[in-house]
Every structure is written in C-alpha cells, then in structure tokens.
Structure 1
Amino acid sequence: MFDLDPGKLLVIGIVALIAIPSKDLPRVLRTLGQATGRMRRMANEFQDQFMAAMREAELDDLKKQIEETNSAIMAGANLNGAFDPMAEARKQIVSAIEDGDKKPPPERALEEPQSGVSTEGQPATDAAPQDAQKADK
C-alpha cells in the first residue's frame, strides 16, 4: 500500500522507540494497527464499489448492444419478413388455399381395370376370380 519494505519498517520502529516513551508504545501500536485495519477495509469497500460500478457499466453496454441488435433484426425482419415465422406460415397457408382453389378436383377412374392390374399398381380384386374360372375350364 505505502510500499514499506522490512528495512523501512525497522527504521520507523527505531524512531518510534526513541520518540515515544515505552509506557505509551503499546497504546500507540494498537491505535496504529486499528487505523491500518480501517484503511484496509475502506480500500476494500472502495475497490468493491468500483468493481460493481464497472460490472454495471459493462452490463449497461451489453444491454445497449443487445437492444441495438434486436432493433436491427426487427428492422430487417420488417423489410424482408425473414424473422417473422407467423408471417411465413400465413403466406404458406394462403398460397395453399389459393392453389387448392385453382386446381380441379381429382377425377376417379370409372373404368374397370384392365389385365388384372388396378390403376394404383396393385392387382385388381375381381381379376383373381376370372383367372380361377379360366383355370377350371
């Protein structure tokens, strides 16, 4: 704190022994120790408050950056709709409905399947009895 190395402390101690009478020395040292403790506590409090202010300033900066990013995203989303999933879903639903209105309904095949195969690629059900009748003859 005051950059006191052991040599300087020894010189200060010798001067204190000469200048302060021996009966008052314990009281002076105790008072000096208490003052040193108070100074350390004050320095720690100041450092804690300073660090809290720095964290708060960093949080404010971070919050400001997030708000700027959010506003930029929302501005971009309003221009091209890329970040609005509801608008995209709405567009898809509307286009599906419009496409469904334009297409004619699928026509069902009214003809009998030919050669034992239905239009879906599966064997026809009534073709098997005809084949069985031909086999019997």
Structure 2
Amino acid sequence: MLDIGWTEIASIVIIAILVIGPKDLPKAMRSVARMIGKVKGMIREFQSNIDDMIKETELEEVKNQIQSVRTADINRKIEETVDSKGEITKAMDFSQEAADFNKSMQESSDTTAKPAVEDKSDKTAKS
C-alpha cells in the first residue's frame, strides 16, 4: 500500500512511544484508527458519488439514443436499406394498373350502355 517495511514501522513505534509516552499511546492509536476510518468512509462516499455521476452520464446517453430511435422513421430506413433504388416499390405500385382497370371498366360499361341508348333512339325514329 504505502510500501512501508518493518524497519520503518518499528522506527515510527519507537518515536511514538518517546513522544507520546507509553501511557497515552493506546488513546493516540485509537484516535488515529478513528481518523483512518473516517478518511476511508469519505473515500468510499466520494467514489460512490463518482460512480453515480458516471451512471447518470451513461443513462443520459442511453436516453438520447432512445429518443433518436423514437423520432427516426423506421419504415423509411428499412425501405432505404432493402430497396435503395426503389425497384420493389415500383413493381408493387398497383395504382396505375388500378386506374387503367377502372378506366377500362368505365369504357366497357359505356359501350354496353350506348347500344341500349341507340336502340331506343332507333325505335323512336322508326315510329
């Protein structure tokens, strides 16, 4: 951790006994242990706050991605991917054929109706 060897620890203990005294050394060790515990707790809290900020940032990115997917026109994207030249769309466009069919149906109904009208006029002309 701090790369302190046994000789350094022994030196610190000897100096602490001389400076603090053998009678007050246990109290000093307890207060040092409490301070170390508080520092560790602050480090843990700081780390959890950093982790929360990272999660919020990632969540914001995910929210932005979801919003972009919601606003995207997926049908258009699929159509561009599958049929980029529009050949399938043109092949499946039956609107012109339907218009031609309707026109031919109207023409055929007009031709069948015209003789009936002509027949009536012929009868009135003969009489």
Compute the TM-score of the two structures, normalised by the length of structure 1: 0.50
- 1:41 paired residue number: 41
Give deviations 1:49-107, integer Å, cap 9, x for gaps: 11111111111112112222332x23x64x6895xxxxxxxxxxxx7xx79x9598xxx
Q: Specify the SS of the correspondent of 1:68.
A: helix
Q: Could you say which residue in structure 1 is the equivalent of 2:65?
A: 65
Q: CA deviation at 1:4?
A: 4.7
CA distance, structure 2, for counterparts of residue 62 and residue 51 of structure 1: 16
Letter in 1 for 2:34: Q
Counterpart of 1:57, as a letter, is T
* Paired-residue identity, %: 26
The change in CA–CA distance for 1:60 and 1:10 in structure 2 (over 3 A counts) is farther
Q: Deviation at 1:5?
A: 2.2
Once superposed, what is the RMSD of the aligned Cα atoms?
3.3
Partners of 2:12 and 2:3 in 1: CA distance: 10
Greater helix percent: which structure? 2
Query: TM-score scaled to structure 2, two decimals?
Result: 0.53
Change (3 A) 1:13 1:66: same
Amino acid in the other structure paired with 2:16: A
Counterpart residue number, 1:26: 26
Structure 1: 5+ residue stretches without partners:
83-94, 105-137
Secondary structure, in 3 states, of the residue corresponding to 2:21? coil
The Cα of 1:18 is off from its aligned counterpart by 1.6
- Amino acid paired to 1:19: V
